Amino acid sequence: MRKHILIVDDEPSIRKVLGAHLRRDGYDVTAAASGVEAIETLQEEGADLVITDLRMPGMDGLELLRWVKQSYPGLPVIMLTAHGTVDSAVEALKRGAQDYLTKPFDQDELRLVILKALAQEEKSRRSLKSEEAPRDAIVGDTPTMRAVFALVDKVAASPSTVLITGESGTGKELVARAIHAASPRRDAPFVTLNCGAIPENLFESELFGHERGAFTGAVTSKPGRFEIADGGTLFLDEIAELPKDLQVKLLRVLQDQTFERVGGLKTIKVDVRLVAATNSDLRQAVTSGAFREDLYYRLNVVPVALPPLRERVDDIPLLVHHFLQKFNRRLDKHVQGVEPAALAALKAARWPGNIRELENVVERAVLLSDGGSLDVDDFPGILDGGAGAPVDEASDELGLKEYVRVHTARLERARIKKALQAEEGNVTRASRLLGISRKSLQTKMKEYGLREE
């Protein structure tokens, strides 16, 4: 989506020139000649970013900043000043301004400041919409997950590089966000880049930016992810996909925090904490020559290994409960819980897609549910090999008691359902057919979610 920027300045020439620059860079722009007009515009149209002059007649930039922070706490504000005094800039930053620029401003500096401010706006918007902190979004109580939580708490405050490993869907980005949120950098940008989703010829530009004319199509200068993340955290997912020639350049940035844009001569210094993640075996990649050994050791300062879901099945009830609450809110549903037989089946599945797959399955079940509790029938595929894997294929992951319980519940429910269908729903006759009391059958029907059926 195109971002909407509000320019506030009493000088028509500034509004015209700045607006032209921003529209050329692909932004939607609205201009206001005063602080009062800016407030009216924000109330009517909203904005993703405000760029305001500091000195204006009537309501000045600091007063407008104060109003914005009270009315729209997550909306970033960039101050413009023709005076460039340290006192005015510091005062604006103290009151919550994202950054400031001195007139006349450099176009490249303007672009960089805007990109950083919009990255902060996106972060603030997510945090305002989110109903839980990043650390609370990681659910688990098994020993392996408690060890992960303890490690996150220990390393968050340091600037050390972190390497998160684990299969796809185990929550690597959640852990990276939790580390950032618990760090002193929490108010600075958290910038992500999926190395597996970038064409090889664009990698260097994405990481380090480029100057105008550096290559065909580079019609403007552009900062890279390292510049945008300055002061904050850069999360590089699927780091094993990084091309060999860029591994050398990344190593240099990790060593001295400096680099040059593509086609540029100026050395840029940043303060960025790097968190990398991979679902590949980097040691094997080093052995095969696909990944540099020196970069591997630079990345692997603090290793965080996330277990697959099949190795933490006791967390599945917690995760299911967490997702039920999440999707009840999001989808305006009122699912009460999950029947024991269904929960046992969920615990017995293999989940090759890990937590992401479980979340998708629960979302679908909640979406299609008519209320009450979810039963095995609300998770099509769990027992027949569609989602995760059937219980029979996952049996080697279970202890003997769990194996017997899961299969007994599965067979018992199927037998009761068949008897009820044979007796057209008559509980008394079905209990006789099954050789149990009517009360016992009613209890079993409740346990297996068969009463409403």
What b/e string do you get for 136-170 counting C-beta neighbours within 10 Å, with b at 16 or more?
ebbbbeeeebeebeebbeebbeeeebbbbbbbebb
- 4-128: CATH architecture: 3-Layer(aba) Sandwich (3.40)
61-71 vs 86-94: helix crossing angle, rounded to 10: 10
Tokens standing for residue 332: 């305006």
CATH of the domain spanning 312-447, picked from 1.10.1040.10, 3.90.480.20, 2.60.120.10, 1.10.8.60: 1.10.8.60
Domains 4-128 and 143-307 alike in fold: yes
pLDDT tens digits for the chain (453 residues)?
Answer: 678 999 999 999 989 999 999 998 889 999 999 999 998 888 778 888 999 998 888 888 888 988 888 777 678 899 888 755 556 766 777 777 888 887 777 788 888 889 888 876 665 555 444 444 455 578 888 899 999 999 999 999 999 999 999 998 999 999 999 999 999 998 888 888 888 888 888 888 889 988 888 887 777 777 888 988 889 999 999 999 999 889 999 999 999 999 999 998 889 999 999 999 999 999 999 999 999 999 999 999 999 999 999 899 989 999 998 899 888 888 888 888 888 888 888 888 888 889 988 998 999 899 888 877 888 888 876 654 444 444 444 444 445 445 545 556 667 777 888 888 888 888 888 888 887 888 778 877 877 777 655
- Give pLDDT, residue 410: 67
- Give pLDDT, residue 85: 56
Region class of 96: left (phi > 0), else alpha (psi between -120 and 50), else beta: left
Region class of 332: left (phi > 0), else alpha (psi between -120 and 50), else beta: left
The ranges assigned to domains in the chain are 4-128, 143-307, 312-447
- Give pLDDT, residue 432: 84
Given a contact cutoff of 8 angstroms between Cβ atoms, the answer to whether 258 and 267 are in contact is yes
How far CA 287 is from CA of 13, 165, 227, 273, 300, in Å, comes to: 61, 17, 32, 27, 16
- 143-307: CATH architecture: 3-Layer(aba) Sandwich (3.40)
Given a contact cutoff of 8 angstroms between Cβ atoms, the answer to whether 71 and 45 are in contact is no
- Give pLDDT, residue 392: 45
